[in-house]
Amino acid sequence: MSATTVTPHGTADARIPLRGHLRHTGALIRRNLLWIRQDPESMFDALLMPIVFTLLFVYVFGGSIGQALGGGQDGYVQYVIPGMIAMMSMTLSQGVGTGFSQDFNSGVMDRFRSLPIGRGSVLFAKISVELTRMLFATAVLMIVAVLVGFDITSWTGLLGAIALSTVFASSIMWVFLTLGVVLKNAQSVQAMGFLVLFPLQFGSSIFAPTQSMPGWLQHFTDYNPLSTLADAARGLMVGGPVAHDLWITLGWSVAITAVMAPIAIHKFRTKS
């Protein structure tokens, strides 16, 4: 009896061809999108977060930080919007972990794991839908950004910044998927996500230049992938050096995916 319960979890992926994996992933993406359609409140964070954060930082902090930058509030808008694209990639990524945990606790994942589908398809479908939510939030962010005075000087640069942010977000989602499998409930995933997100976001160049920070904190920001992502997006969208920060961000994305994706898939397959 034990052999029949373990074998499907350990060998299902090996028996399913690539076309089958793609078909299963597509079906699960459709299922998740239909769930969002039935529960539109699940999109409130993707809709409201870019609006609230943009208005907050532009109109509350924009004057003082913008003056330090030498360009006033208008200059700060040009500085902070590329950084907020980086912030969206990190903040909304934790939704994949909380949603995954909720699916486990509601019994949905037990149903999926009883079906002859690729185990990786479940995770890839989750990531695809969360990336769609992130792109929606980015579109809202850019609409608000233009309304508060952001000048899109290069559409190619804007698309490049969004593409880079999407690559980085997909890597971070593997971290939160792992947390969604390992931790007991969505509240724990959210709490752990906050502990990860808070220092990475505010200990970076997203909202303010790092030159005025203490030396030890500047060393942290130098290795913070959100700083390199924000700086690369800034260079692409408003001009400035790009290559160094671009390659470091891509390196972080590849390294995080290479480490966390196998762990997430293994934990999902073996979770009892």
29 with 128: CB under 8 angstroms? yes
More confident residue, 16 or 155: 155
Rounded distance between C-alpha atoms, residue 63 and residue 161, angstroms: 25
**Res 226: pLDDT:** 94
Average pLDDT over residues 37-50: 85
Q: Which residue has the tokens 């839908």?
A: 129
Q: Give the list of residues 6+ apart from residue 198 with CB closer than 8 angstroms, or none.
A: none
Sequence-distant (≥ 6) Cβ neighbours of residue 53 within 8 angstroms: 84, 87
Give a three-class secondary structure readout of 148-216: CCCCCCCHHHHHHHHHHHHHHHHHHHHHHHHHHHHCCCHHHHHHHHHHHHHHHHHCCCCCCCCCCCCHH
Q: Report the range of poorest mean pLDDT among 27-31, 42-46, 268-272.
A: 268-272
Please list the helix, strand and coil fractions of the chain in percent, rounded to the nearest 5, in that order: 85, 0, 15
* Percent above pLDDT 70 for the chain: 89
Chain length of the chain: 272
Q: Tokens 């994305």 correspond to what residue?
A: 253
Amino acid 150: pLDDT? 94
Burial of 32 from C-beta contacts in 10 A (0-12 / 13-18 / 19+): buried
Query: Count of domains in the chain?
Result: 1
pLDDT category at 14 given cuts 50, 70, 90 is: low
User: Is 175 within 8 Å of 260 (Cβ atoms)?
Assistant: yes
pLDDT in tens, 98-154: 888 887 777 777 677 666 676 678 888 889 989 999 999 999 999 999 999 999 988
Tokens of 125: 């479908």
pLDDT classification of 67: cutoffs 50, 70, 90: confident
Res. 39: pLDDT tops 70: yes
Tell me the C-alpha distance between 36 and 51, whole Å. Answer: 20
| pLDDT bracket for residue 2 (50, 70, 90) | very low
Write the CB contacts of 118 (distance below 8 Å, at least 6 apart in sequence): 12, 13, 16, 20, 21, 24, 25
Cα→Cα distances 237→56, 151, 152, 208, 233, Å: 21, 9, 7, 17, 6
Q: What is the pLDDT of residues 159-209, one digit of tens each?
A: 999 999 999 999 999 999 999 888 888 888 888 888 888 888 888 999 988
Helix (H, G, I), strand (E, B) or coil at 92: coil
For residue 62, name the pLDDT band (cuts at 50, 70, 90).
confident
Domain interval for residue 256: 2-270
> pLDDT confidence of 79, banded at 50, 70, 90?
very high
More confident position, 124 or 158: 158
In the structure encoding, which two tokens stand for residue 196, read together? 């990860």
